[in-house]
Amino acid sequence: MSVRKNLTLSDLFLAILLAAAQPAHTAEPEQSRVLSVMQAIADAWNRGGMPASSYFEPSLTVVDDTPPYLFQGPNAVADWIAAYRSEQPKSSKNAKTTLRLLQPTNVEITGARAFVAVPADWTAEQDGKRDVEHGVITATLDRPDRDWRIAAWVWTPR
């Protein structure tokens, strides 16, 4: 083999190694952007408001342990919250609920698609009594433009 061919193969091998290492550096900022969408949804809920529709795909699917368990389409979030509130006893109407996201156990990003699994604590507090439900939120996100949006949101109690 000639020296020139050796250098070309070495250069190619080095370029492949560098390209393979590159996503590790670019993935972290993208991972933060994905997780910030999930945190924004929790923050909106914790303030007592409805998360902005801009955080969700119009074809959103929500799966929750609140009957009827499946909520889909552009009104999925409003329908889900209405179902949750209607399932609560009248005596708990004024309970303060919060959603606290914990350290994610899985964040995978491939192009314009992301998969996230994050443990979470759902707390209802009323009259000095606190009830905490532990669970996992599993979500998929799409990036149809520069912003990430939730395509599917699943709550699984532990």
CATH number at residue 105: 3.10.450.50
Q: What is the DSSP string of 46-90?
A: HTTSPPPGGGEEEEEEEE-SSTT-EEESTTHHHHHHHHHHHHS-G
The whole-number pLDDT of residue 85 equals 86
Q: How many domains does the chain have?
A: 1
Is 62 within the bounds of a domain?
Answer: yes
Is 142 within the bounds of a domain?
Answer: yes
pLDDT in tens, the chain (158 residues): 444 444 444 444 434 333 443 344 446 899 999 999 999 999 999 998 889 999 999 999 999 999 999 999 999 999 999 998 898 887 777 789 999 999 999 999 999 999 999 999 999 998 889 999 999 999 999 999 999 999 999 999 99
Is 67 within the bounds of a domain?
Answer: yes
The whole-number pLDDT of residue 20 equals 40
Is 80 within the bounds of a domain?
Answer: yes
Is 58 within the bounds of a domain?
Answer: yes
Domain span at residue 68 reads: 27-157
The whole-number pLDDT of residue 119 equals 98
| The two structure tokens encoding residue 45 | 């809920």
Is 81 within the bounds of a domain?
Answer: yes
Of the candidates 29, 153, 22, the one whose C-alpha atom is nearest the C-alpha of residue 99 is 153
Is 4 within the bounds of a domain?
Answer: no
Q: 41 near 150, Cβ under 8 Å? A: yes
Of the candidates 138, 135, 134, the one whose C-alpha atom is nearest the C-alpha of residue 152 is 138
The whole-number pLDDT of residue 94 equals 78
The whole-number pLDDT of residue 90 equals 78
Is 65 within the bounds of a domain?
Answer: yes
